[in-house]
Amino acid sequence: MRKQCYKTIYEKIKDDDRVVLMLGDIGVHAFEKAFEEFPDRVYNMGIAEQNIIGMSAGMAMNGLIPIAYTISPFLIERAFEQIKLDLGYQNLGVNLIGIGASCDYASLGASHYCPADVSILKQIPCLEIVVSGTAHEFEQLFEQSYNNGNPTYYRLTDNPHGHFYDVEFGKANVIRQGKDATLVVVGSMLDVIMDATKDMDVTILYYTTLSPFDYKTLHENINSKIILCEPYYNGGILFDIVKTINIPVQYGFIGIPHKFQTHYGTYQEHMDSMGLNTKSINEYLRWFINV
Amino acid sequence: MEKIIELKKTMLTMAYQAQEGHIPSAFSITDILWVLYDKVKTENDYVILSKGHACLALYAILADKGLIPKEEINKFCKFNGKLGGHPRRNPEWGITASTGSLGHGLPISVGLALSKKIKGEDGRVFCIIGDGEFCEGSNQEAMLLASQHELSNLVCIVDYNHSLDKSVNVDSIANKFSAYGWGVSNIIGHNHFDLLNYLQDNMSNEWDEPFALVCHNTKGYGCPSIENNPSWHHINKLSKEDYERLLGELYA
């Protein structure tokens, strides 16, 4: 997905002279060509996330379309107030691209994990949140929204899912329909959910845009059992779900538990330890659907 | 100067009507903002008031210049008013950025100044910060990046009114800017002649670097009883007696 991101951004810088890329000292080598060809619109601003966000606000005020790119926790959590006030409150068209979703940087520890990104960014009205599950989806979603005048967070992951769907900004995909439960699946969770539900009669809704939330698709597929399948802290979009539903519902949660991860190792080891593999999810769903 | 007294009278009346406001902070920068808007600023320039709590001065001057509808002045801090206790972005009225949380204005200004270079535009970006907000780390990042990118179109005006003295000993703010590679001058920021001299295009463009004008100011300037008096920093109550006394001090 990162490679697609480099390519998409490079193409955008080439095609749209309003686009300015600012790196937080991350991805510098990957954007070498862009640095060479467009030195006046590609910058390594160093490790200064608060300023990258503040500067991007200033640039957007003057008609440019800035992209701020660095590791998610530093981009989102370090500079949260800048995102809230400089981008959100002023509603400026800035694109934030974060790499290192949840515990993608498994071996590096909690300083480099970012499982809270969606939950905290949901607290900023008018900030758009895009969680693409594949490189192809990122390309489509970025193309559809990078210049729409609103601040947007694009959450990239190094662990994309293996399915191919065309996606539309602000709209969920109905992957399949069934009667036993509705699963609201976000981004990279799709792989493991598809595997775990092979022999189940469930509805699978696939969400790549979390803000603005597609209430309509969920409303058309309401079930008395709703399961949120999120690749970040459980319940990031819970309020959107609750708001949509007007019948008594049992909720299930598949996602990152709300605690500090103190292990290192690999991404898969983390997923296994949190029960986010096919076997564990299959067992959980069988139990949940039958209770 | 009569104009300055008139502006400060407007500010006092706004604060009295609203029972709200940071009067001494606004009086501290009234001269700076007046010279900027009256003599220096062109249509290609931006002004960012990073110390947003001093917005009474900005509102009074923008209203005087006809950018803000006069009737809005009477709605300062009212529920349906557009002029709050901290500025909200309103380009039509000449308010470039929403500020209030300190340490945001200079990074935004650095981005604006760089965007002007990228687009090949004329004009400068003036950012007014206070010495109190100098503690915010974001300002240090901005100082570093402004000189890195040789933003000679950026002017940071520091309202050094010693708000900081009660917390941190910063020594020389000018030396700090200088160490980051900025051109720096020190003046008394209530002196219109000096302000004009240093803010005029030809003066600040002597440098290839961003320029910091450190203004040694008096908080509450113009009303002796509130000058350098921390208890007046923010008021949410202004009695008729105090209001009239302060008006009297302005004209004394």
With 60 as the cut, is the pLDDT of residue B95 above it? Answer: yes
Contacts of B139 in chain A (CB under 8 A): none
**Closest chain B C-alpha to A116 CA, distance in angstroms:** 23
Nearest-angstrom CA–CA distance, A266 and B106: 41
pLDDT score of A291 = 82
pLDDT tens-digit profile of A19-44? Answer: 999 999 999 999 999 999 999 999 99
Q: Residues A11, A139: contact at Cβ < 8 Å?
A: no
- The ipTM, to two decimals, is 0.95
B111/A55 CB distance under 8 A: yes
Is the Cβ pair A86, B137 closer than 8 Å?
no
Across the interface, of B101, B116, B142, the residue whose CB is closest to A51 is B142
pTM for the model stands at 0.96
* Beta carbons of B112 and A62 less than 8 Å apart: yes
Count the Cβ atoms, other than its own, within 10 Å of residue A216: 11
Predicted pLDDT at A246:
87
Q: Which residues of A touch B (CB under 8 A)?
A: 20, 40-41, 43, 45-46, 48, 50-51, 53-59, 61-64, 66, 81-82, 85-86, 89-90
Q: Residue B171: its pLDDT value, please?
A: 85
Q: Looking at residue B90, what DSSP letter applies?
A: B
Of A169, A101, A96, whose CA–CA distance to A127 is shortest? A96
Topology annotation, domain A173-290: Rossmann fold (3.40.50)
Across the interface, which of A57, A64, A81 has its CB nearest the CB of B101?
Answer: A81
Distance CA B138, CA B134 (A): 9
- pLDDT of residue A186 exceeding 60, the answer is yes
Residue of A40, A46, A86 lying closest to B104 (CB–CB): A86
Find how far residue A154's CA is from the centre of its chain: 6
B66: left (phi over 0), alpha (psi -120 to 50) or beta: left
Size of interface A-B (CB pairs under 8 A): 97
CA distances from B123 to A58, A110, B106, B154 (A): 15, 45, 17, 9
Asked, colleague to colleague, whether A2-155 and A173-290 share their fold, the answer is yes
Task: Measure the CA angle with vertex B109, ends B108 and B115; round to 5°.
Answer: 90
**Are A58 and B107 a contacting pair at CB < 8 A?**
yes
Question: Could you tell me which chain A residue has the CA closest to the CA of B118?
Answer: A40
Q: Is the dihedral of CA B181, B186, B190, B191 positive or negative?
A: negative
Residues of chain B positioned with their CB less than 8 A from the CB of A82: 104, 107, 138
pLDDT digits (tens, 9 = 90+) for B139-178: 999 999 999 999 999 999 999 999 999 899 988 999 999 9
B2-251: CATH superfamily: Thiamin diphosphate (ThDP)-binding fold, Pyr/PP domains (3.40.50.970)
The answer on pLDDT for B204 being more than 80 is no
Residue B243 token pair: 């209001």
What would the pLDDT profile of B52-67 be if each residue is shown by its tens digit? 999 999 999 999 999 9
- SS3 of residue B159 by DSSP: strand
- What does pLDDT average to over chain B? 95
pLDDT tens digit sequence for B4-28: 999 999 999 999 999 999 999 999 9
**Sequence letter at residue B52:** G
Q: Whats the size of chain A, residue-wise?
A: 291
Per-residue pLDDT at B217 exceeds 80: yes
Task: Give chain B positions within 8 Å (CB) of A20.
Answer: 115, 118
The share of chain B scoring above pLDDT 90, in percent, equals 93
**So where are chain B's domains?**
2-251
Q: For position B207, what pLDDT does the model report?
A: 66
Per-residue pLDDT reduced to its tens digit, A214-246: 999 999 999 999 999 999 999 999 999 999 998
Sequence ranges of the domains in chain A: 2-155, 173-290
State whether B110 and A51 contact (CB < 8 Å): yes
Distance from CA of B244 to the nearest CA of A (A): 37
Q: Please give the Cα distance from A208 to A214 (Å, whole number).
A: 10
Mean pLDDT within B214-232: 96
Q: What angle do CA B203, B206, B208 make, to 5 degrees?
A: 135
For residue A83, give how far its alpha carbon lies from the nearest alpha carbon of chain B (Å).
Answer: 11
- The contacts of residue A253 (CB under 8 Å, 6+ apart) are A227, A228, A230, A234, A235
Q: Is the pLDDT confidence value at A288 over 90?
A: yes
Superfamily grouping for domain A2-155:
Thiamin diphosphate (ThDP)-binding fold, Pyr/PP domains (3.40.50.970)
Subunit contact A85:B104, Cβ cutoff 8 A? yes
Q: Taking all residues of chain A, what is their mean pLDDT, rounded to a whole number?
A: 97
Q: What is the C-alpha separation between A281 and A289, in angstroms, rounded?
A: 12
Q: How far is B242 from chain A (nearest CA, A)?
A: 35
> A152: which 2 tokens?
């947007």
Q: Are A288 and A252 in contact (CB under 8 A)?
A: yes
pLDDT for residue B203 is more than 80? no
DSSP code for B235: B
* B118 with A40: Cβ contact below 8 A: yes
Half-sphere exposure of B49 (CA within 13 A, CB side): 30
Quick check: B141 contacting A, CB < 8 Å? Answer: yes
